[in-house]
């Protein structure tokens, strides 16, 4: 099987952990593993003095936790709504009855940053929620520009880096991000099941809200001090996370991972150009390539699975597909994928 989704193909030594007997988690050994994972995660995202919460749950669970614990303490939220996942921030604010402004950005378009500043001045929010990379379209937003505006107007910055972590440059401290999140099945390229929240040291001692039992920030932060979770974790995935973080450190660190993702993305985009497949994102992330095919779009997804044992991601609009550049993937694999898509498209 060849997988160009999330996660992509996973290293065999990581998969092997999932086939092992599961150790008991309330031990000093498991605590030590989690504390080392926390330190590595904070180092990789550029916030060595921050804190980490690791939930057994998807990325949306972490978004829910951020809104219910943190955003709920604010008077007004500002949501950059550039697609499916940007809109999810707005839906969560509505669910928790947080006053919020839904700033819509067209599909695969970049933000008009001059207009953004004008609207921020008018709306006067005290927290801004955005994606670094809107996974539904492939569009990457400019966090440096967003961060400068947040600093200028004293707005707390919360960033969903679920699909940009380990695919794009991201330094939480430099960008003065207060809370950031990711999940295990994207850049970390291990099985889905864990979501990770990074909390800036600026928020140490912050009075979070308490609107959810399982996702309560203070309860989870208190337990993480001893390397534990308050409730039963997905133990095997915690072990896979630890091993993957050690591999990243051993194999040259974050820079090396990002460079590999970038190389694959640029190569596949060249193949897209050669096949006249349009890439709509104005500023595409290296994490994925979203592209339009010209013919037989209704056949490509199923034919790749049934005939080639290949998985890619369909998009929310006709003829649009997405290919991840994370995971175990070679340039030869990408050429094979492009040839397979071209062959089905040409029938």
pLDDT at site 316: 85
> Where does the pLDDT of residue 56 fall: very low under 50, low under 70, confident under 90, or very high at 90 and above?
very high
pLDDT at site 31: 98
Answer whether 161's CB lies under 8 Å from 170's CB. yes
> What's the CA dihedral at 315, 321, 326, 328 to 10 degrees?
130
pLDDT at site 219: 98
Please tell me the distance from the alpha carbon of residue 135 to that of residue 26, in angstroms, as a whole number: 36
Per-residue pLDDT at 80 exceeds 90: yes
> Where does the pLDDT of residue 1 fall: very low under 50, low under 70, confident under 90, or very high at 90 and above?
very high
Q: What are phi and psi of 84, to 5 degrees?
A: -55, -45
User: What tokens appear for 95 in the block?
Assistant: 């669910």
Mean pLDDT of all residues in the chain?
97
Q: What is the pLDDT of residues 217-273, one digit of tens each?
A: 999 999 999 999 999 999 999 999 999 999 999 999 999 999 999 999 999 999 999
Answer whether 65's CB lies under 8 Å from 213's CB. no
Going from the C-alpha of 26 to that of each of 19, 70, 224, 225, the distances in angstroms are: 20, 29, 12, 14
Q: What is the pLDDT of residues 26-48, one digit of tens each?
A: 999 999 999 999 999 999 999 99
Outline which parts of the chain fall under CATH 3.90.1150.10: 253-345
pLDDT at site 147: 98
Q: SS3 for 58?
A: coil
In this structure, how many other beta carbons lie within 10 angstroms of the beta carbon of residue 326?
A: 28
Q: SS3 for 75?
A: coil
Please tell me the distance from the alpha carbon of residue 257 to that of residue 251, in angstroms, as a whole number: 8
Q: What is the pLDDT of residues 294-342, one digit of tens each?
A: 999 999 999 999 999 999 999 989 999 999 999 999 999 999 999 999 9
Outline which parts of the chain fall under CATH 3.40.640.10: 12-250
pLDDT at site 212: 94
User: What tokens appear for 315 in the block?
Assistant: 């998009």
How far, in whole angstroms, is CA 31 from its chain's centroid? 25
Please tell me the distance from the alpha carbon of residue 238 to that of residue 240, in angstroms, as a whole number: 5
Percentage of residues of the chain with pLDDT beyond 70: 100
Please tell me the distance from the alpha carbon of residue 321 to that of residue 293, in angstroms, as a whole number: 8
Please tell me the distance from the alpha carbon of residue 291 to that of residue 116, in angstroms, as a whole number: 27
> Where does the pLDDT of residue 95 fall: very low under 50, low under 70, confident under 90, or very high at 90 and above?
very high
pLDDT at site 264: 98
Indicate the CATH number for domain 12-250. 3.40.640.10
- Taking alpha carbons only, the member of 84, 89, 159, 148 closest to residue 120 is 148
Pairing of strands 133-134, 139-140: antiparallel
- Taking alpha carbons only, the member of 323, 6, 339 closest to residue 182 is 6
Buried b (16+ CB within 10 A) or exposed e, 161-175: bbbbbbbbebebbeb
Q: What is the pLDDT of residues 134-164, one digit of tens each?
A: 999 999 999 999 999 999 999 999 999 999 9
Q: What are phi and psi of 62, to 5 degrees?
A: -70, -40
Pairing of strands 127-131, 51-56: unpaired
Fold of 253-345: 3.90.1150
Q: What is the pLDDT of residues 155-208, one digit of tens each?
A: 999 999 999 999 999 999 999 999 999 999 999 999 999 999 999 999 999 999
Q: SS3 for 77?
A: strand
Instruction: Give the Cα-Cα-Cα angle 186, 305, 257 (nearest 5 degrees).
Output: 25
Please tell me the distance from the alpha carbon of residue 104 to that of residue 81, in angstroms, as a whole number: 5
């Amino acid at each position: 099987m060849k997988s160009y989704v999330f996660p992509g193909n996973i290293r065999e030594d990581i998969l092997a952990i999932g086939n092992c007997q599961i150790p008991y988690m309330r031990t000093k050994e498991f605590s030590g593993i989690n504390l080392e994972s926390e330190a590595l995660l904070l180092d990789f995202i550029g916030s060595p003095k921050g804190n980490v919460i690791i939930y057994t749950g998807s990325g949306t669970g972490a978004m829910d936790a951020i809104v219910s614990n943190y955003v709920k303490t604010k008077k007004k939220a500002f949501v950059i709504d550039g697609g499916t996942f940007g809109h999810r921030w707005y839906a969560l604010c509505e669910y928790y009855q947080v006053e919020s402004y839904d700033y819509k950005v067209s599909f695969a378009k970049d933000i008009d940053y001059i207009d953004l500043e004008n609207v921020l001045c008018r709306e006067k929010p005290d927290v801004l929620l955005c994606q670094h990379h809107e996974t539904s379209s492939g569009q990457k937003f400019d966090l440096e520009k967003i961060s400068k505006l947040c600093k200028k107007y004293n707005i707390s910055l919360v960033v969903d880096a679920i699909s940009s972590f380990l695919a794009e440059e991201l330094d939480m401290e430099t960008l003065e991000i207060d809370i950031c999140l990711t999940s295990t099945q994207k850049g970390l390229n291990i099985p889905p099941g864990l979501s990770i929240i990074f909390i800036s040291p600026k928020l140490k001692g912050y009075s979070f809200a308490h609107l959810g039992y399982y996702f309560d920030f203070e309860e989870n932060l208190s337990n993480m001090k001893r390397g534990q979770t308050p409730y039963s974790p997905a133990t095997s995935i915690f072990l896979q996370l630890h091993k993957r973080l050690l591999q990243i450190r051993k194999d040259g660190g974050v820079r090396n991972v990002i460079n590999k993702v970038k190389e694959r993305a640029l190569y596949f985009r060249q193949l897209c150009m050669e096949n006249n497949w349009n890439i709509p994102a104005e500023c595409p992330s290296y994490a994925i390539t979203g592209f339009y095919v010209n013919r037989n779009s209704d056949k490509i997804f199923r034919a790749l699975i049934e005939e080639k044992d290949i998985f890619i991601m369909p998009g929310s609009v006709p003829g649009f597909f997405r290919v991840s550049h994370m995971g175990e993937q070679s340039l030869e694999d990408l050429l094979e994928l492009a040839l397979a898509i071209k062959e089905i498209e040409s029938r």
